[in-house]
């Protein structure tokens, strides 16, 4: 009888947990569903009362307009280029620096890393004016360089990869050194393959951060041909505040690359986030 009571209690707990997860998932999905539905409505039905949960009739005119009336593909190409280059920079520089802090011994290593952590606590907005002055002095404002160079590495990325690389046994690295590998060879042939889950996590965080960044591109860019998607959509909203369906269409198209990146890398992302959580 006691075993049956325990079994019923566990079943109730699991059912309650699944119910909470289902409700939470719906709360997260509904805003995206509403954005997609609004983008497929005719403009006169966007603020209809009662609201239409499914567009009737379904129209793709908003997508046609945003692809033809504004240089959306140009904005999209700029965002892809900047996001990919910055993400590759993070993967290389952050992982290389993290490897040095995690596996190499040199004077002042821990003190330097502690200073890094202190700088991590400083809000990024504090650096906007100094970095802008540097870009202006180098005549890099209104260029791709201003979007890419200041963002090629981050203290958070170094910290994230250092914590992951510390879980790699030193014996594996020592074995590679005994076999004649140079230090960079040990990093490239041993550390990098074992750090793929952590790198996947870094890629997702970095890509999403750069893709959604609005403030810095808006400050350093003046030419419309260099605008990224967040800046371009903000300009669209200022020029055409009444066409909500068209703005929603741009929002949906902007969100799709981030969704695809996560879907393709979700397994590695979950492995990277849970690495070190369980101990044998």
- Considering the domain architecture, whether residues 88 and 34 belong to the same structural domain is answered as no
10 Å CB burial of residue 134 (0-12, 13-18, 19+) is middle
Q: What is the CATH classification number for the domain harbouring 201?
A: 1.10.3720.10
Give ∠ CA 202-203-207 in degrees, rounded to 5: 120
- Are residues 193 and 226 both part of a single domain? yes
For residue 257, give both structure tokens.
């690359």
Is residue 51 a part of any domain in this protein?
Answer: no
Residues 115 and 237 in one domain: yes
Domain assignment present for 55: no
Based on the fold, state whether residues 13 and 93 are members of the same structural domain: no
In a domain? residue 67: yes
Q: Are residues 151 and 13 in the same domain?
A: no
Smallest CA-to-CA distance from 206 within 253, 265, 271 is with: 265
pLDDT category of residue 241 using cuts at 50, 70 and 90 = low
Percent of the chain with pLDDT over 70: 89
Mean pLDDT of 192-198: 85
Q: What pLDDT is recorded for position 192?
A: 86
Position 280 confidence tier, pLDDT thresholds 50, 70, 90: very low
Q: Is residue 44 part of a domain?
A: no
Q: pLDDT digits over 80-123, tens only?
A: 999 999 999 999 999 999 999 998 888 888 899 999 888 888 88
pTM: 0.81
157 and 74 together in one domain? yes
Cα 206 from chain centre: 4
Q: Say if residue 24 is in the same domain as residue 89.
A: no
Do 182 and 101 belong together in one domain?
Answer: yes
**Inter-CA distances, 111 with 65, 106, 116, 147, 161, Å:** 55, 11, 9, 30, 18
Task: Say what the pLDDT of residue 275 is.
Answer: 56
Predicted local distance difference test score (pLDDT) of residue 8:
64
The predicted model gives 9-22 an average pLDDT of 80
Question: CA distances (Å), 212 to each of 79, 205, 257, 280, in order?
Answer: 9, 11, 11, 39
Mark whether 12 and 85 lie in a shared domain. no
For residues 244 and 46, is the Cβ–Cβ distance under 8 A? yes
pLDDT attached to residue 82: 95
Same domain, 87 and 224: yes
pLDDT bin (cut points 50, 70, 90) of residue 51 is confident
Q: Is residue 188 part of a domain?
A: yes
Domains of the chain: total: 2
How many residues does this entry show for the chain? 280
Of the pLDDT bands very low, low, confident and very high (cuts 50, 70, 90), residue 79 is: very high
Contact between 228 and 75 under an 8 Å Cβ cutoff? The reply is yes
pLDDT score, position 29: 84
For residue 195, tell me if it sits in a domain: yes
Residue whose C-alpha is closest to residue 223's, from 160, 146, 158: 146
User: Can you give the pLDDT at residue 135?
Assistant: 93
Q: Judge if 65 and 11 occupy the same domain.
A: no
SS3 of the chain:
CHHHHHHHHHHHHHHHHHHHHHHHHHHHHHHHHHHHHHHCCCHHHCCCCCCCCCCCCCCCHHHHHHHHCCCHHHHHHHHHHHHHHHHHHHHHHHHHHHHHHHHCCCCCHHHHHHHHHHHHCCCHHHHHHHHHHHHHHCCCCCCHHHHHHHHCCCHHHHHHHHHHHCCCCHHHHHHHHHCCCCHHHHHHHHHHHHCHHHHHHHHHHHHHHHHHCCHHHHHHCCCHHHCCHHHHHHHHHHHCCCCHHHHHHHHHHHHHHHHHHHHHHHHHHHHHHHCCCCCC
Angle between helices 61-68 and 244-274 (to 10 degrees): 90
Residue 50 lies in a domain: no
**200 and 88 assigned to the same domain:** yes
So what's the pLDDT on residue 140? 92
Residue 45 maps to a domain: no
CA 227 to chain centre: 19
Cα gap 201→122, rounded to integer Å: 23
- Residue 31: domain span: 2-39
Say if CB 83 and CB 210 are below 8 A apart. Answer: yes
């Amino acid at each position: 009888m006691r075993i049956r009571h325990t079994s019923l209690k566990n079943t109730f707990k699991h059912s309650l947990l699944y119910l909470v997860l289902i409700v939470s998932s719906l709360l997260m999905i509904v805003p995206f569903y509403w954005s997609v539905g609004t983008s497929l409505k005719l403009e006169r039905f966007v603020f209809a009362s009662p609201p239409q949960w499914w567009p009737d009739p379904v129209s793709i005119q908003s997508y046609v307009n945003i692809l033809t009336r504004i240089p959306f593909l140009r904005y999209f190409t700029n965002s892809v280029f900047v996001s990919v280059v910055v993400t590759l920079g993070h993967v290389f520089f952050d992982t290389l620096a993290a490897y040095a802090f995690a596996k190499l011994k040199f004077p002042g290593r821990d003190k330097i890393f502690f200073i890094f952590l202190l700088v991590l606590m400083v809000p990024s907005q504090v650096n906007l004016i100094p970095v802008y002055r540097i870009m202006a002095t180098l005549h890099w404002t209104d260029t791709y360089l201003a979007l890419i160079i200041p963002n090629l590495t981050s203290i958070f990325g170094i910290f994230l990869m250092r914590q992951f690389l510390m879980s790699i046994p030193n014996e594996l690295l020592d074995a590679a050194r005994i076999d004649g590998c140079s230090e960079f060879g040990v990093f490239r042939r041993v550390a990098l393959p074992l750090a793929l889950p952590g790198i996947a996590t870094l890629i997702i965080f970095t890509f999403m951060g750069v893709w959604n960044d609005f403030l810095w591109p808006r400050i350093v860019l003046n030419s419309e041909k260099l605008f990224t998607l967040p800046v371009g959509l903000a300009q669209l909203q200022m020029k055409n505040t009444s066409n909500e369906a068209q703005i929603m269409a741009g929002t949906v198209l902007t969100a799709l690359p981030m969704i695809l990146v996560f879907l393709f890398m979700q397994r590695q992302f979950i492995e990277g986030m849970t690495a070190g959580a369980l101990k044998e």
